[in-house]
Amino acid sequence: MMEVSSFLLQGCVDLIMKQNTAKVYRIGLMMSITCYLIWGILPLYWNLLYTVSAHEILAHRISWSFIFVLSITLCSNKSQFLADCLLLYHDIKRVLLLCLASILITANWLTYIWAVMHNHIIDTSIGYYLNPLMTVFLGVLFFSEKLSIPKKLSLFLATIGVLIMVLQTGNIPWIAIVLSLTFASYGGVKKKLQLNPFSSITLETLFTLPVATGYLFYIQSIGIGSFGNLTELTSLLLVSSGIVTAVPLILFSYGANLLPLNVLGFIQYISPTLALLLGLFFFKEPLPLETLFALIFIWVSIIIFTLDESKIYRSKKVT
């Protein structure tokens, strides 16, 4: 069944690439929007597992993601996966980068799941709003990248927004900072890694798989594991955590190949906006005035950032 599904998926993508540009754009848009919609409503999924600890959910997410993505990779593009493994065998630097990517995405997943389980969904929203700005900041800090005046202004306004939260609440918004920092760093490492997306995701989860499965076997052996010991729905949701992790990543990989970067950059804000709305209206989290004021600075910085990205993209397209 998995082999047939993978074959059909690859066949659909090949067919799409043969269509006219407008149709390719629409399909890419549909895939990307679906991806960000899934990421945006994931708090609802993790909330269904409120009886399970964040560490156990993470361990299941890693384990089942590995199984699911490995199955797709071996069925759809086994030769590419083997070639990537051979490449890593002869390149220790890439192995270290892959290990770093694995640590970063694991830290991101754990922080996100913990935040959702402890009613900090608005903080996760702020983190993913800050993500593209954090990416720019890391580019300046570690790669000496030059910034346009609008991007400098957007970073300045986002910094003011974060400082407002720190000064008004007396607490550093660590959830937002950790989420944006780990995901932006993960993106930078993946860019340097230059591996096939499916191979990379499979190998990233493989690095943390021994710890994840070891932990799951331990808690199951002493009778405190949730799998099979709570409701059937809980067990099903834990197994399906691999699917809800892998499917949006697959959609994102194809969408990113079919869409212009400025369009992809704009629609990525679907996810944190949905999370913000869920936090406010479904989970009934409070939104203090100082947090709203800080968010206004961040939203303005995002608008400036997005407009500047669009302008740069159009200028490159013309030349």
| Residues 64-90: tens digit of each pLDDT | 999 999 988 888 778 888 888 888 888
Q: CB under 8 Å to 241, separation ≥6 — which residues? A: 45, 57, 60, 61, 64, 65
pLDDT value of residue 4? 44
Range name among 227-231, 253-257, 273-277, 285-289 with the lowest pLDDT average: 253-257
pLDDT value of residue 239? 94
What SS3 state is found at 285?
A: coil
Given a cut of 60, whether residue 265 has pLDDT beyond it is: yes
Given a cut of 80, whether residue 17 has pLDDT beyond it is: no
What SS3 state is found at 170?
A: coil
- Burial (0-12, 13-18, 19+ Cβ within 10 Å), 166: middle
Higher pLDDT: 192 or 106? It is: 106
Mean pLDDT of the chain: 84
pLDDT value of residue 62? 94
pLDDT value of residue 114? 95
Question: How many alpha carbons fall within 13 Å on the CB side of residue 35?
Answer: 21
23 secondary structure, DSSP code: H
Higher pLDDT: 30 or 167? It is: 30
Q: What percent of the chain has pLDDT over 90?
A: 39
Given a cut of 60, whether residue 102 has pLDDT beyond it is: yes
Higher pLDDT: 13 or 31? It is: 31
State pTM to two decimals. Answer: 0.84
CA 286 vs CA 112, 117, 129, 281, 291: distances in Å: 19, 16, 18, 10, 10
10 alpha carbon, distance to own chain's centre: 23
Q: CB under 8 Å to 118, separation ≥6 — which residues? A: none
Given a cut of 90, whether residue 12 has pLDDT beyond it is: no
